[in-house]
A and B are shown apart, each in its own frame.
Chain A
């Protein structure tokens, strides 16, 4: 079969009743602008890490919002925090802060240093 470089996503169901949506609120408390995100994907288009890998901030953000945390910590570790995404965001979302906080949240034990 011809390889087009992309495939059709396999269908999946997300049961929003079972999803842990409270976690996302902790992020939006710290970064209120996260709520403005409309998942346009401009951040992923400019991403420096996206050049090398399939890392996709938009996807990570969406998964986090839906409470799907599988493999997310490893995925987020690919980000270089360069901040290009923040500059291109048409909605003024502080994307860098979202990644920073998601990373600390998911790796809580490893990253925590300053006591709150």
Chain B
């Protein structure tokens, strides 16, 4: 058996690592929701598993998403992850070929050059040793880039990088030491036995004047010790993401989702975070308000080490820009939501006082304006005009005595209270027997879609208007107005509605693109999710968004959310209109056919 005492730290480290990881995974997977477990059992032997493996290669090894952000940053991650992976695989192949059997000492591939000193002893030996040297060179270039990134993050396309804990710094240092030590150890052996390829061989030749015989063993010991320290610190540092990300990708592909309650899957997601810090730059609290300790990376770190404070959990706009940029694809907003959830007071009814005074009307379409829309009455007037022009029989559900949809409560963690409101609204909607629910507020829209168990379709007014225009129920004047569209957080990233409002605007105005739109769109600062920022900070966020949106001097800034409208309107930079308003202003009303309705319209316009 090929053995030397310096192998022991490596074996010990690897054993400790596997024991801790297996213990942790069993505990987490056991505490995954029952409902979610069903998905695992259902999908484990399907095509989805193969798709997951594909994603693992693409994301965990090659780091495709980071490449898209910055090629150099992507290369750095790929060289370390994929390079090291290949180094292990090729090392295994090399050792199997040299010993002629598949089952040999498991450490042989790691310390190959020390034990196999005959350079050309087996099939493809030269090629393999060339590949090994090349891989080592690639990894070393990655380590170099990582060093540069620590000093100048801007060079890699990042304005700020993560400020790390002591654990992480220790693990990081041992990781950086592994490869240079391997290079030196292999080079010294090569100086003695001449068994290296272009890299280790040349360095071996260079240092052959030194007392290589005395240096060899200490260097191999140092290499093994670096591996030991890295392995032992891995489960307690950010490098836990290396194995956990693989588990996460499998579970994600099998259809496991983050629910409202903290579960084992949340633990897996939290441990999949590599603390790369890519989520720091898109955060508006970071660059507009200079709040630097609440970003998702720190939130997840604090959650993991049980040091989470209320200030960190609550100081977030929940705009979802970080989730959109996360290279691991974590549900950061939902995780924060889970941690915000308050303990429930069972059986308590909070909103007993709500009695529906107005009779429930039975119509095909229910219109739910939402609390915020009542503060922007122009949207309501416009929606009424749109309904009338399209000849739709609707019931305005919350015209008087409206009840909140429950989402603002839920975002602050009052789940029980929110459910109370949901059941109240649900009863009204079901009793009306309507076939469609239209809402003007993206917050309500998301709530109706995700938290209510409605049997009827829900539409935001931007979707509904698009449908009416496509069905030619609304005829619009062609105009030359230059418009720019702002994606509200809850409507865009929250509910994936990007195209519908743009399609409508393109029909009758000239829509100009803005710098950050669609998934990159900015938050207006009015978000209800944050209870900590003050008005002055909110204004900074708003001005930052307004600046981006009005760069190309649009005539009108269009949005589809009453809260965004309310925020932007005080910025005084451009004329702000809701989608419904600009539509209502440009409807061609047939005067000959329907004189009464046009009179009403005029009366309503005077009210404006």
Q: List A residues at the B interface (Cβ < 8 Å).
A: 30, 32-33, 46, 48-49, 51-53, 55, 77-78, 80-84, 87-88, 92, 94, 96-97, 100-101, 104, 110-116
Contacts and interface: CB of A to CB of B under 8 A. Distances in A.
Contacts of B403: 48, 52, 80
Interface residues of B, number: 41
Nearest to A107: B345
Given A33-B535, A48-B402, A77 B417 contact: yes
Contact of B408 (A32, A82, A97): A82
B532 A78 contact: no
A87 B535 CA distance: 10
Nearest to A51: B401
Interface of B: 306, 308-310, 313, 339-343, 345, 350-351, 353-355, 371-372, 374-375, 400-404, 406, 408-409, 412-414, 417, 421, 526, 528, 531-532, 534-535, 563, 566
B372 to A, nearest CB: 7
B309 A77 contact: no
8 contacts: A49-B353, A77-B417, A81-B409, A82-B372, A112-B343, A114-B308, A114-B340, A116-B310
Contacts of A48: 371, 402-404
A112 to B, nearest CB: 7
Given A48-B404, A80-B409, A110 B309 contact: no
B340 to A, nearest CB: 8
Given A83-B371, A87-B566, A114-B309, A78 B350 contact: yes
A17 B425 CA distance: 46
B531 A100 contact: yes
Given A111-B342, A113-B342, A81 B372 contact: no
Contacts of B413: 113
B375 A80 contact: no
B357 to A, nearest CB: 9
A80 B401 CA distance: 13
A94 B404 contact: no
Given A78-B353, A100-B412, A110-B343, A87 B372 contact: yes
A110 B341 CA distance: 12
Contacts of A115: 306, 308
A51 B358 CA distance: 12
- Residue among B309, B371, B531 with most chain A CB within 10 A: B531
Contacts of A92: 534-535
B383 to A, nearest CB: 18
B345 A110 contact: yes
A53 B353 contact: yes
Given A51-B402, A116-B309, A81 B371 contact: no
B248 to A, nearest CB: 24
A82 B371 contact: yes
A34 B560 CA distance: 31
B343 A113 contact: yes
Contact of A84 (B341, B345, B353, B372): B372
A30 B309 CA distance: 13
A79 to B, nearest CB: 9
A110 B371 CA distance: 28
Contacts of A100: 412, 531
Given A52-B354, A81-B408, A82-B404, A111 B343 contact: yes
- Residue among A49, A55, A78, A82 with most chain B CB within 10 A: A82
Contacts of B412: 81, 100
Nearest to A32: B534
A96 B404 contact: no
B404 A114 contact: no
A46 B401 CA distance: 12
A4 B273 CA distance: 63
A111 B532 CA distance: 18
Contact of A114 (B310, B375, B400): B310
A114 B313 contact: yes
Contacts of A77: 350, 417
A96 B351 contact: no
Nearest to A30: B532
Contacts of B350: 77-78
Given A52-B353, A114-B339, 14 more contacts: A48-B371, A48-B403, A51-B400, A53-B353, A80-B351, A80-B371, A83-B371, A84-B372, A88-B375, A94-B531, A94-B535, A111-B342, A113-B342, A113-B343
Nearest to B313: A114
Nearest to A93: B535
A82 B417 CA distance: 12
10 closest pairs, A vs B, by CB? A92-B535, A80-B404, A97-B531, A82-B371, A53-B353, A82-B404, A111-B342, A81-B408, A51-B401, A83-B528
Nearest to B350: A77
A78 B528 contact: no
A89 to B, nearest CB: 9
Given A82-B408, A113-B342, A114-B313, A97 B400 contact: no
B351 A78 contact: yes
B413 to A, nearest CB: 7
B33 to A, nearest CB: 19
A52 B184 CA distance: 77
A77 B339 CA distance: 21
A83 B408 contact: yes
B600 to A, nearest CB: 26
Contacts of B402: 48, 51
Nearest to A46: B375
Nearest to B353: A53
A58 B372 CA distance: 20
A30 B417 CA distance: 23
A53 B401 CA distance: 10
Contact of A97 (B340, B343, B406, B532): B532
B409 A52 contact: no
A44 to B, nearest CB: 15
A9 B266 CA distance: 53
Nearest to B349: A77
